[in-house]
Chain A
Amino acid sequence: MIRNLFLYKEPADKYQFEITADNTASPSPQPMENVSNDINVNLKYTKELFSFPKNSDIVIREFDISVEGELLRGFVICADGLAGSALINESVLLPLMCLSDLERRHGESTHDYIYRRLIPHVRLTRERDINKLLKPVNYGNCAVFVDTLDVGFSIDVKAWAHRGIGEPANETVIQGPHEGFNEMLRANTALIRKTLNTPNLVMETATLGKTSQTYASICYLKNVANSSLVDEVRYRLNNIDVEYILSSLNLAQYIEESTYLSIPQVVATERPDRVCNALVEGRVAIVVSGSPQVLIVPTTIFDMATSPEDTYLRLPYSFLIRIVRMAAIVLSLLAPAVFLAVMNFHQELILTDILFALSKARSAVPFSSLIELLLMELSFELIKEAGIRVPGPVGSTLGIVGGLILGQAAVSANIVSPIMIIVVAVTGIASFAIPSYQLSFSFRFMRFIYTFAAAVAGFFGIFTVMFIDTLLIVNTKSFGAAYAAPLAPRTKAKITNLFFTEPIWKGGRRPDYLEPKDKHDSAKISRTWKYKKR
C-alpha cells in the first residue's frame, strides 16, 4: 500500500540487446584434404562445411548410379540461383541416373568411365582435393561425388542472372564502339579476346580475398608485355592479405603505389577498345569478376588525359578536341583560384573595365570572395552528388531547382555575385569535359587546395601548390613506370603526341617506358598501298 501511495508503477522489463564479445568457436568440420572412398564421409563433410540444411540455397541431391549392375550412391551439390538447374539435369543427373549402365571397356576405371563417357559437359574437371571441388560451388559450379571413388567431379554450370552488354555509363563516345564491360568475368574477357583474336593474348586467373575468393584475370600479350611487369602484377595480386575484395576499384587501392596522392595511379575503364589498345602497347589489364571496371597498369598522367575517341576522329577534329580538353583541364583546376587571386591580391592585373564591373557586382554581397566561392562550390558539389542518387522521375526537377532557381535566387538575394556563378559553372562544366572520371575527381579535390592557396597568398600560393603538385606527379611511379613519362624522365619517345594528336599511320613505336619486348607496333611505312607498285 505504501509502495503505491504515489501511484508508482514499476516499469515493465523491456528487451535490451547489446553486442558482447563472442568467444564461441564457429562450427567447422574436421578438416579434410582428399576425397574419401566412403561417400558418407564426403557427404558429412560437405553438409557441415556448407551448414546444410540451414543454408537454404545450397542444394544436395543424392542419387544412385548403376555401373555394370552395381548400384553406387552419389550426390551432387550446387548453389541455387548460381547454378543452372536445367544444365545440371541434362549434363549430370540424366546421364548418371539414366544412362550410366553402359558397358565399361576392358580396364577402364569407374571414374574414367564417368569422366570420359558419361558426363557430356565441356568444362568438367576431376580432383582429389575435396576443397578444390567444393570451393567453386560458391561460384556457380556443381560438385559430384560417387561412392568408392577417391576423386570428385566439378562441372561449370553457371547460369545466374546478370546485366547484358550495354553502353559504358561513364565513358561515352560519339564515334566508336558502344560496348562496355559488365559484371561477368567471362563476358568481359570474351569482349577483349574477340577484339584481339591472337593466341598471344594470355588471361591468367588470380583469386582475391580469403573469404570472397573473387576471381580475376590478368591479361597481357605475351610477345609484347615486359615479363617483369607481368610478374610484378601477379606478385601484388597474390600478396594481398584481406578477407574480401568486391570490386576492381577496391583492388586498385590495394595495388597502387600511393593512396594519399590525389592522382590515380591505375586506370579503370569500362571500354573494351581502351583495354585492347593498352594491351597492344604493352600494358597489363586486370579484369575482376563482379566489376565492370577493368584496371590497366601502368599508366601515366598523359594517358589519363586522353580519350579513346582521339584515335577515331580525323586529325583536324581530334586536334581541336585536344585543345579544348587542355583548356578544360586548366579551367577545372585553376579557374576559381586564379579568379580569387586576382580579386584579392592582384587587382592591378585585370582590365579596368572588368575591375569596375566586378567591384560593382560584389558591392552588395556580404561575404568575402573565398566564402562566396566555397558556398557556390559546395552547392555545386551537392547538386552533383544528389544528381547521382536522385530517383529518375525527380532528376530533371533537380536540374531546374538547383541550376536555375537556386542560382538566380542567390544572386537576387545578394548572397553571391553573378560573376561567381559564372566562374563556378564554367569550372564545373570544364571538369565534365575531362575524359577520365578519376582524373576529374582528382581535380575536384585539388581545386579546393588551389583555392585555399590563392586565398592565402594569391598567385604565390597558387604557384607554390602547383610546384608541389607537379613535383609529386613527377616523383610518382605507377608499377615501375614514371608517372610523368615520357616527359620526366625524358625518354626517346616523341612528346608532341602527348599534347597534340598525330596521324594514326605515323604510329610505329610502343611507349618506351614500358620496355616492351617488341618495340614497334607497326612498320615505319604503314600505308604500304601508297608506295607499292601495282
Chain B
Amino acid sequence: MKKLIFVICICVVMLSGCGGKEIDDMAYVVAIGIDATEGGAYDFTFAIGNPNSINGGGGEDAGGGDSNVLIFETETGESIFSAGDAVSARVGQEINFSHAELLVFSEEVAAGGVDNFIDALTRNLNQRPKLIPAVAVTTAKDTLESINSKFEGNPEKYLKKLFESKDALTLAAIDSRDFLCRTKNPDSGLAVPRMSVGDSITVGAMSVFDGDTLAGAFDDVLSYKLLCGMGEDITYDIENSGSLILNQRVKPTVSVSCYDVPKISITVNLDASVASAKPDVAKEDLYSAAELSLKGRIFDLLMFSSADMGVDVFGFDKYARANFLTWGKWQEYNWREKYKTAQFSLSVKIKPEKTGLITGGA
C-alpha cells in the first residue's frame, strides 16, 4: 500500500501544471467600463493597473499623479469574458478581475438592463463581491480615463477610498453582491453612484435602478445617505446662519403600517456640532433651522422616489414585511404598486453635541 501511495504522489507531482499562474503573468483590472455600440454588442474598457508605475515594492518612480499607473484597453464584444480574452491576447498577460473595484455602465447600457453583466461576474469565481457598480453621465470609457489619483499612487486604493470611505460627503456605494441581491427583489429598487467627468471623476448624484434597469436619477445624495443611515461627519451649511457637522450614530427609525395606503413614519436622529456660526445667530436657532431645512430636502426626495419614480429606493419594504406573517400574504399586498401612493411622516431631530472651542453666539 505504501508503494501505491507513493505512486499516486508521483503522479500528482507530475500532473502539476494543472493551474497556477505566476503573479506577474497576469494583468489586474482595477475598473471596468461598459458602453453600448450600435451593433448590439458592447464596448468594454478595462483599466489595468501598471505595477511598474504604482508605488510600493521598492519602486523608485512617483506613482501619484502619473497617468501611467493605469493602462486602458478597449475591446468590443458580447460579454466581459470574451472581451477580456481578446485583451489578454493583445497585451500578452491574462486578464484577472479579482481586484476590480469599479464597474461603470453608460446610461444606455443601464437602461437596457445590467443583470447579465452582474450575474456573469458574480457567477465566475474570479470576481470578488466588492466591485462597486456605478453609472456614467457621459461614456464609461471617458469616465474611466479621467481617473486621476493625485494623492494616492495606487489607483485601486484611490477608488476604494473614494467609494468606501464613510466620511466622504457625497458618496454612497453598494457592492455588486448587494446589487445582485436587490435586483432579485421584486419589491424594491436601489441607487448607485452617478459619475461625471471633470478634472477627475466626480460623484454628485445617484442613479436609480428598478430591478436591473435604470429608472431615473436624483442629486440629493445627502438626504439619501441620511435615510439609509450612512450620514457620518457631514458638514451642513445653513444659509445665512452658519454650518453644522452632523453625525448619524443610529440608523433612522422606520415604521411602516400597511393599510390600503401604506403609512411610513421615519425619524432621523442626528448629533450636531457647530462648525461655524454667525455672531448674531443663537445655537438653538442654528439647530432648528437645520432641522427644518433637512426635513424639507428629505421629504422632497421621498416624494420623488414614491410619486415620481415609483421605486422604493430606500428599502422600506424590509420594514413593511414585518406586518405580514408569511411571504404569500406579503406578495398579495403588492408593495411595488402600493409604494407609489405611500404617505410619509418624517421627523428630523438634531441633538446638540458640542459647540467647539467657542461657546456660541451672542
Contacts and interface: CB of A to CB of B under 8 A. Distances in A.
A363 to B, nearest CB: 5
B52 A348 contact: no
A98 B73 CA distance: 110
A344 B21 CA distance: 5
B58 A361 contact: yes
Interface string B46-73: 0001011010111100000000000000
Interface string A362-388: 110000110000000000000000000
Contact of B57 (A344, A348, A356): A356
Interface in A324-383: 343-345, 347-348, 352-363, 368-369
B22 A343 contact: yes
A356 B49 contact: yes
Q: By DSSP majority rule, is chain B's interface helix, strand, loop, or mixed?
A: loop
Interface stretch (A138-146, A436-444, A455-463, A499-507): A455-463
Nearest to B97: A348
B20 interface: yes
A352 B154 contact: yes
A514 B91 CA distance: 65
A360 B59 contact: yes
Contacts of B51: 356-357, 359-360, 363
B19 interface: yes
Contacts of A369: 22-23
Interface in B180-231: none
A359 B24 contact: yes
A418 B58 CA distance: 9
A458 B18 CA distance: 11
A352 B58 contact: no
Contacts of A348: 96, 98-99, 126, 128
B56 A356 contact: yes
A452 interface: yes
Interface residues of B, number: 32
Given A352-B154, A353-B154, A361 B57 contact: yes
A362 B26 CA distance: 12
B22 A344 contact: yes
Contacts of B351: none
Interface in A393-441: 418-419
Contacts of A354: 56
Given A348-B126, A356-B28, A356-B154, A362 B13 contact: no
Q: Which of A345, A347, A362 has the most CB of B within 10 A?
A: A347
Interface residues of A, number: 26
B96 A360 contact: no
B157 interface: yes
Interface string A21-38: 000000000000000000
A344 B20 contact: yes
Contacts of A360: 24, 51-52, 54, 56-57, 59
A150 B274 CA distance: 115
Contacts of B15: 456
Interface in B11-36: 12-13, 15-16, 18-24, 26, 28, 30
Contacts of B154: 352-353, 356
B156 interface: yes
Nearest to B126: A348
B24 A363 contact: yes
A347 B20 contact: no
A507 to B, nearest CB: 42
B22 A368 contact: yes
A175 B25 CA distance: 51
A345 B26 CA distance: 12
A452 B13 contact: yes
A465 B13 CA distance: 13
Interface string A439-476: 00000000000001001111000000000000000000
A445 to B, nearest CB: 15
Contacts of A456: 12-13, 15-16, 18, 20
A476 to B, nearest CB: 15
A458 B58 contact: no
B21 A363 contact: no
A343 B13 CA distance: 19
A439 B56 CA distance: 37
A347 B96 contact: yes
A508 B20 CA distance: 53
Contacts of B23: 343-344, 347, 355, 358-359, 362, 369
Interface of A: 343-345, 347-348, 352-363, 368-369, 418-419, 452, 455-458
25 contacts: A344-B23, A345-B19, A347-B26, A347-B98, A347-B99, A348-B99, A348-B128, A352-B49, A352-B156, A353-B56, A354-B56, A356-B28, A356-B54, A357-B57, A358-B23, A359-B28, A360-B24, A360-B51, A361-B58, A363-B51, A369-B23, A418-B58, A455-B16, A456-B16, A457-B18
Given A368-B22, A456-B12, 15 more contacts: A344-B20, A345-B19, A352-B30, A352-B154, A353-B157, A355-B28, A356-B49, A357-B51, A360-B54, A360-B59, A369-B23, A418-B57, A455-B16, A458-B19, A458-B20
Interface of B: 12-13, 15-16, 18-24, 26, 28, 30, 49, 51-52, 54, 56-59, 96, 98-99, 101, 126, 128, 154, 156-157, 160
User: 5 tightest CB-CB pairs across the interface, nearest first?
Assistant: A348-B98, A357-B57, A357-B56, A360-B51, A344-B20
